[in-house]
Amino acid sequence: MNEEDRKANAKFLEWIEDYEDWYGKESTRWIWILFACKVLAIGSSLLSVVMAAIINQKFFFEMKGALIAVTLLSAASSEVLAQFKVREMESLREEGHLEIAALAAEARQKFAELSNDRAACFELMNSLRGRVASLEERQHRKFVDLEKELGKGKSKAKRDAI
């Protein structure tokens, strides 16, 4: 394989690895958002229970702001989970991350195997491009479906308020 072919393979691998990095970062970001919301919800609920258990009239007036803050934290974390479909987004991005990681691993392995067969490398590139495009299309479609669900929830909330 000549230098130009090696550069083309390296550039193609870089392209796939960029997708792999993006999906990895997005998956990690949604995992952390989900984790933070869960911790806030559980923590604020437990704190509310503890505060309710030790409350007396004097404590209530002194700590009214803290009680409100704890309640708001719990409500906010629950609302973020529901409104931003955090669990679904984490699942969607992790699904993409796993698939693109497998494609990147396949590309690295196959390029090593096919290093002396340029036609087979081109065929592999075409196949992988199509599979990446299919992954991106599925991810986009599922993301749009999640957005539509959010819109329907907002419309329903508006109708219910009327």
- The confidence score (pLDDT) of residue 21 equals 97
The fraction of the chain above a pLDDT of 70, given in percent, is: 94
What tokens appear for 109 in the block?
A: 């392995």
Name 99's Cβ contacts closer than 8 Å, sequence gap at least 6: 135
The range of the structural domain enclosing residue 19 comes to 3-161
- The confidence score (pLDDT) of residue 58 equals 76
Q: What is the pLDDT of residues 104-117, one digit of tens each?
A: 999 999 999 998 89
- Round to whole Å and give the CA distance between 105 and 38: 33
**Confidence (pTM):** 0.77
Tokens 């409350």: give the residue.
Answer: 55
Length of the chain: 162
- The confidence score (pLDDT) of residue 69 equals 85
Name the DSSP letter for residue 63.
Answer: S
The answer, yes or no, to whether residue 57 has pLDDT greater than 70, is yes
Identity of the highest mean pLDDT range in 29-43, 50-64, 90-104, 145-159:
90-104
Angle (nearest 5°) at CA 91 between 89 and 95: 115
Domain count within the chain:
1
Question: Are the CB atoms for 23 and 97 separated by under 8 Å?
Answer: yes
The answer, yes or no, to whether residue 161 has pLDDT greater than 60, is no
List the one residue out of 27, 29, 20, 13 whose CA is nearest residue 100: 20
Of 28-42, 57-71, 99-113, give the lowest mean pLDDT range: 57-71
- Round to whole Å and give the CA distance between 83 and 91: 16
* Mean pLDDT, range 55-78, rounded to an integer: 81
A 10 A CB-CB count for 125 gives 19
Model confidence at 153, in pLDDT bands (50, 70, 90)?
A: low
What tokens appear for 38 in the block?
A: 């869960």
Model confidence at 64, in pLDDT bands (50, 70, 90)?
A: confident
The answer, yes or no, to whether residue 148 has pLDDT greater than 80, is yes
